[in-house]
Structure 1
């Protein structure tokens, strides 16, 4: 076997170091754990009919629910939703308190707790959680719709209509869209 030229020997000896540096660079590069929902939101906004919009809406909800930072957080969220569905609002709230404490940047934890607080009649606390959910996920049409429902329940119709219009701008086939009041010169 012929001896390697000096440059080839140098490259060969540096190879492990270059691979290690490349691996370190990959590990340290920022990785977005949030899925790219842009195509879904674009498709939702341009859905040709209610049936197609519902399919896309379901994909967005699935994406929100599955974007929990850990499987344990997702399991707690799902357990909280199950408790809520059987009217164990306090049990659901306790689990969601844990979700938020463990994952304060997970928008769906805030949104789900806001819903439970709404069901408990604690509208002000619900609005606070909705605002946090919207800070983390500004296109959360569910949170915006919830905000609209609370404002309208409290008699703050103008604010409720504003929030509902924002939600419908994101999701034109939103079920609550039938609650929009058509402008008629009446001051809301």
Structure 2
């Protein structure tokens, strides 16, 4: 993670892709298949089917952080924010530097008008991944309302 933290923006994008690929590997072909099927269903807009695949995945591989993260994404799309936050919490317990899960948590907190908490979560994304453009934009946007300062 230090390499991502210290990287220039172009290199950071490459490292982000590499980490994402690494996080998708469970070490089990059958679990990877559940992840793929769930992701395919999610991309097709079949949210309930995606949740089913991801739920089977986390049941069978509870220590695989990406399964929790993907199910959180599906819950978010159903506007089941409490369930999404719970799964993101599990993801971050397993992988505290999972910047995508941190970003997702921040988005949900902002959606729920919890601006101070969202600001903190976006700031944590930037601690891990300082060149994350969307997190930087969010920190800039929330700085005044969350902290009472403009800079």
Please give the TM-score of this superposition, normalised by the length of structure 1. Answer: 0.74
Q: What's the RMSD between the two structures over aligned residues?
A: 1.4
**Any residues of structure 2 matched to 1:1-188 within 5 Å, and which?**
41-48=1-8, 50-66=9-25, 68-177=26-135, 178-180=137-139, 181-182=142-143, 186=148
Greater share of residues in helix: 2
Runs of 5+ consecutive residues of structure 2 not aligned to the other structure: none
- Aligned-pair distance for 1:135? 0.4
Tell me if structure 1 keeps the 8 A contact 2:4–2:128.
yes
Rounded to whole Å, the distance in 2 between the matches of 1:175 and 1:75 is 31
Larger radius of gyration: 1
Rounded to whole Å, the distance in 2 between the matches of 1:47 and 1:183 is 28
Higher RCO structure (Cα 8 Å, ≥6 apart): 2
Tell me if structure 1 keeps the 8 A contact 2:5–2:128.
yes
Equivalent pairs, count? 145
- Aligned-pair distance for 1:69? 3.4
Rounded to whole Å, the distance in 2 between the matches of 1:52 and 1:149 is 25
Please give the TM-score of this superposition, normalised by the length of structure 2. Answer: 0.91
